[in-house]
Amino acid sequence: MRRLVTVIVVVVLVAGALWTLRHRFEPAPAAGGMSVSQALGGVPQAGFARAVVPRPFRFPADHGPHPEYKTEWWYFTGTLADKTGRRFGYQLTFFRMALAPQEPPRTSRWATNQAFMAHFALTDVAGRHFYSAERFSRAALGLAGAEAVPFQVSLEDWSARETGVTPWSLRLRAADGSGALDLELASAKPVVLNGERGLSRKGPEPGNASYYYSIPRLDTRGTLSVGGERYQVTGTSWLDREWSTSALSGDQAGWDWFALHLDDGRDLMYYQLRKKDGSADPFSAGTLVAADGSATRLSRDQVRLVPNGWWSSPHGAARYPAGWRLRVPGEGIDVQVVPWLADQELLTSFRYWEGAVAVKGAGGVERGSGYLEMTGYQTGGAAGGR
């Protein structure tokens, strides 16, 4: 019963808060349900800190939780292969959500003002399978939580934990049903601060922003289990970190987020916020990371996005772009972003598309790989482009 209450409370909280950072979920269609703009608009709850101005980032402390803000996440994605070249993608994400600004009186060991949600997904290209799972719990009795030193975040037996190895390294572990992973990640590039020295503005309202950093390349090795088979894999991962308290602007309907590793050593993060009329919001932005780790901010005016056809979900009313042409003319980037599998839609409490993609250049030559996320398409929402 306690677990059921936790699930209900967290789902309600997520509906009211999850775009308080960057761009993640769209509620699954339901009779009488709210749109994403209805759910995430309005005035933020009083008592929480807000992302208003740039702040100093301090590590390792900022790898850990920021409970004074309402929401936060640790977002791991990666593309991997075994020694035969068989390809896999993975996502492991931990979300922290504050139920109230202050800790409750400790009259019960169950008492907490923090709840956690986690998503786990695997893409098996050769097997043509996509697996996803979701869990909820409270930050009490060791069920879920996060710490800065040594860094760790966990929900039951799903976890990301610092290993103490140099360069900064982590071990990710998760298993559910027919899918499992046990991966070691080591940073191959330094921390990159997105936006204005780490302040990522999502709209014109003061505080409608997040504190946002990435580690765009982490060398990855370990094991994946898919459908009863176990594979030794290597590849590259990406870590995204955000925390905030802000709300989505009323005219924003969804978003498209790209995290791409290019074969020339550069990495590209870009998120396109979409308005309800399908146009790209002026606060869309990104970061281009050079091979040496130096970063360049990208504005909406520097990036061109056009969807390549459409894919209709067999699981409901959603209709997503089937791929994208992405150009950054000033940086010599003109690529096609092509999903490894068409159906990489997470059928979780908040339904959205997130999966592994190939980056292709002229003549269809592969120039990299990465991850793409798309939300706000549950009712056939228009795709932005310019």
| Structural domain span for residue 228 | 2-375
- pLDDT the model gives residue 14: 43
Beta bridge partners of 334: 327
Residue 293 falls inside a structural domain? yes
Binned average pLDDT, 10 residues per bin, the chain of 386 residues: 34 37 34 37 73 96 96 97 97 94 76 91 96 92 93 97 94 95 98 97 89 98 95 98 81 89 98 89 96 97 96 90 97 97 92 96 93 84 60
Task: Report pLDDT for 361.
Answer: 94
Q: What is the pLDDT of residue 17?
A: 37
Rounded Cα distance, 89 and 357, in Å: 9
Establish if 384 belongs to a structural domain: no
The predicted pLDDT at position 22 comes to 33
pLDDT at 27: 33
Contact at 8 Å (CB) between 144 and 105? no
In a domain, 54, yes or no: yes
Residue 386 in any domain: the answer is no
| pLDDT for res 254 | 85
Residue 195 lies in a domain: yes
| Domain tally, the chain | 1
Asked if residue 279 is part of any domain, the answer here is yes
**Where do we find the tokens 């800065």?**
148
Q: Read off the CATH number of the domain in which 323 is found.
A: 2.40.370.10
Is 382 within a domain?
A: no
Residue 254 belongs to some domain of the structure: yes
Q: Which pLDDT score, from 0 to 100, does residue 206 have?
A: 85
Q: What is the pTM of this model?
A: 0.88
